[in-house]
Chain A
Amino acid sequence: MNEARIPFTVIGGFLGAGKTTLLQRWLLAAAGRRIAVLVNDFGAINLDAALVAQAGADTIALSNGCVCCSIGDDLSAALLRLLATQPPFDAVVVEASGVSDPWRIAQYALAEPRLALHGVLVLVDAAGLAANLADPLLADTLQRPLAHADLVVLNHADRASSADLAAALAWVAQDAAPRHAAAAPVITTQRAALPVHLLFSLLEQPIHQARGGGWLAVGQAPGLAAPPAHDTRFEAWQPQPAGCFDEARLRAWLRALPVGVLRLKGWLLLAGGGWAELQFAGRHGTLRRLPANQPAPASGAAIVAIGLAGQVPVTTLTCGLQHCEVAPLMHAPALARRIGNTIDRSV
């Protein structure tokens, strides 16, 4: 596998927002991928004994190849233990404590070359938000994680009134605005129902198979009700970038990606030769040059961005990328596909 860096996702959110439910869901729905989940303690995770292959003091190994590790008081040590595991995991997810800032944890993925920052998800208890915000001890603690959320998940929507939901949406928009041009994309969920595919490298996922069923068509772990065959809440933008690109322009483009991009990943050929890896997650764009001694990426030139259905700014993205091209060559029209329902939007 050419893609040696492991996608690293941080899950933030205050007590009761549904972080544990989400992690449990993903561990059970790994669908053949090996996920490493780091949690603050095991007590909250409730795993069927039949799924546990081996339980140690700080690691529980599941029969589906996933592991759940206790962070204890030393995330550095827990990460180093994970990174020493062979073969490498397909994804690492870290649960931030209810009061910690997930962006600080995301820094580990910017620090460790074997990890790639893949996403910062912040869960919000839509039903309990008003009560939490009313506590003067908590207001700043609730706001801080939003600054770098690339997806805000308004969970417990089934328990929230429409007024609660409207107030929560307004709060997210208002809080995010001072620091960013626009608020983070917001999705509403019940019981933290989010696709496990959000954890994996965008370039390795069978997005091109969307016509055949999309993200969730790979098969399900036992114990979960069968989800819909595909997730209509997300959408991808996947152009076929055949030309050469200017590094400085790409960096500038990544710094100011248009509103609506949840995350982006790509490999592009640079004008001066060599490959650049592009990554946008946690509202933070990164460009890294592939060292000359490393083989070209298996995917070849490729780029994928995802966002919420109907919110991906396809035209702006396409124009932006074209502007970074130095020697425009013929390339296939960029395509946007609504994942799962096979609707392509040609640009």
Chain B
Amino acid sequence: MTATTVYSARRIHTMNPAQPTASHVAVRDGRILAVGDLARLQAWGPHTLDERFADKVLLPGFVEGHCHLKEGSLWEWPYLGWFDRRDPAGKVWPGLRSMAAVVARLAEIDAEMIAPTSTAAAEAEASGAAQAPLIAWGFDPIYFGGERMTVAHLDGVGDGTRPIVIAHANGHLMNVNSAMLHAAGISAETEVEGVMKFDAGPLAGQPNGELQEPAAMYLVLKHVGNAGLLAPLSEAGLRAFGAIATYQGVTTATDLVNRLAEADLAVLRGACGDDHFPVRIVPAFQAFHGTHGAAAGAEHVRALIATSTDRLRFGLVKMMLDGSIQGFSARLRWPGYFNSPNGTKNGIWVTAPAQYEADFETYHRAGLTIHSHTNGDEASGAAVDAIERVLARAPRPDHRHTLQHGQMIDAPMFARMGALGLCANLFTNHLWYWGDQHHDMTMGPDRAHRLNACRSALNAGVALAIHSDAPVTPLAPLFTAWCAVNRITPSGRVLGAAECLTVAEALRAITLGAAWTLKLDAEIGSIECGKRADFAVLHDDPFELPPSKLKDARIWGTVLSGRVFSASE
């Protein structure tokens, strides 16, 4: 195809410093042919002038450098989170700010499931089985000021006979009702430590419905199958993800933990093989294995690279060193946690530092780009130490290895990262979603003020991206950029004004910055000749809005490799 389409726009922000803005962009064969004014583009010969974006603002398609495709499939279950959240169809589900609100929402869902038209009710009736369980996600007790959900809340839903399972936002806990406890055989006699019990009152010693950690949740998962965050990826879920990506302006997204086994690959290839699938996917191989798995893992990823297509890119490897800060499982340097509920001094290693270094070296020597989960500063430091030694043994120019989250990295550590060529993809959404909890509970004010220190990273010359970790927080790069620009918490506190980014810097971090960490910056991330024709199409110009309104810029849809995707269709 050699047809050329020229799009006119109210303004095009290119992210190309040599030509920051333009009025027209010419697209041929899914790539950008030229950028400028109409006269400059006409020199390329015959074209079709497409004016559908004449009143819109074009930016490079947003790149989400750390999210998970579950962001789409989780919506197969109802959402119970504290914050408002939009589903793939665009409907906003209001945040539930009290236990009563959570219970009321559950009662609505239960009533819908009872209705004769509901598929769940029909299926349960057809199979003669017990009532279909009600499974929901997104609940996070950290926002309820110490109040914990128990069976006392949940048993008031419906007639109390339908099993209810609520997966917490962090994936490590769940709450269930008495019907589910009974079905799972959980009683006062159950000795599993993660089966929480009432410690006082008439029910003292009875399970209260909160189940912590895998062994306790295993009892429930045996009965209901994998729920919530543990459910396998489906093609329908992937398409739901695509719908969210479109209305958030995202054209390239990672899936930053994927087994990449046959079933996973079939789902990815099924969706991405369709030209109407609206987002380019960069899955990262889940390098979570024993001490002898790295060689086979590296070989697997290298073989997959040869099968990459425009919409499906292999080559990324994900490793993991520690847990999460709000779960008090991240590894922190001195002085450790600030005000942890049970006196936790430090978190856990998910991978032993020595094994991390050995595995990292294997993947590094195979020429792959490794993204390492390090939340706490001790974990980030251990990664920097290990990578420094690996790079001394096996220098490799332009590796683009990236620390993911890196939430507590300070200026001296960024300086070391800069010297080693390490990139940072910081979790700026935490500033909003858990900023107050970090200030008051997890790390205290000193370190909360340098949480996700974007300015320090740029000062040290570290290539910077910022992310949502969706579905941990919603996929919405403009919101992520807003967090980096404003650093404000729900209580109105500004966490470290000196670390704020400008709007231009934040928008770069969600386009060219993220593309750099994926080593795709030669193809995507800016609007210039030769790159993929990937655009985020906005109604509003984010540079014209006050920085405090950046998250509110309205998005029309996207263009991916020259194909137009409207969010409203």
Contacts and interface: CB of A to CB of B under 8 A. Distances in A.
Interface of A: 14-15, 39-44, 72-73, 75-76, 79-80, 97-99, 101, 104-105, 107-108, 110-113, 137-138, 140-141, 284, 286, 288
A273 B151 CA distance: 34
A43 B193 contact: no
Contact of A107 (B213, B259, B378): B213
A101 B349 CA distance: 10
A99 B347 CA distance: 12
B366 to A, nearest CB: 16
Interface string B103-117: 000000000000000
B354 interface: yes
Given A107-B216, A108-B215, A110-B191, A15 B355 contact: yes
A11 to B, nearest CB: 13
A288 B188 CA distance: 12
A99 B292 contact: no
Given A15-B354, A44-B291, A73 B286 contact: yes
Count chain B CB atoms within 10 A of each CB in A41, A75, A108, A288 and give the residue with the most. Answer: A41
B218 A111 contact: yes
15 contacts: A14-B352, A40-B291, A42-B292, A43-B290, A43-B295, A76-B214, A79-B218, A97-B290, A98-B291, A104-B213, A104-B214, A108-B218, A110-B190, A110-B191, A137-B349
A187 B221 CA distance: 38
B160 interface: no
Contacts of A76: 214, 217-218, 221-222
A73 B355 contact: no
A112 to B, nearest CB: 7
A286 B382 contact: no
A128 B368 CA distance: 32
B236 interface: no
A79 B219 CA distance: 12
Interface string B335-355: 000000000011011111111
B253 to A, nearest CB: 22
Nearest to A139: B346
Contact of A111 (B219, B288, B290): B219
Q: What bracket does the count of chain B residues touching chain A fall in?
A: 35 or more
B192 interface: yes
A43 B353 contact: no
A140 B349 CA distance: 10
Contact of B288 (A73, A79, A113, A138): A73
A111 B215 contact: yes
Contacts of A39: 290
Given A41-B290, A44-B292, A111-B192, 11 more contacts: A14-B352, A43-B293, A76-B214, A99-B349, A104-B214, A105-B215, A107-B194, A110-B215, A111-B190, A111-B216, A137-B331
A319 to B, nearest CB: 26
B349 A110 contact: no
B152 interface: no
A99 B214 CA distance: 16
B142 interface: no
A48 to B, nearest CB: 17
Nearest to B211: A111
B521 to A, nearest CB: 31
A40 B289 contact: yes
Contact of B215 (A14, A43, A107, A113): A107
A207 to B, nearest CB: 27
A339 B352 CA distance: 39
B212 to A, nearest CB: 10
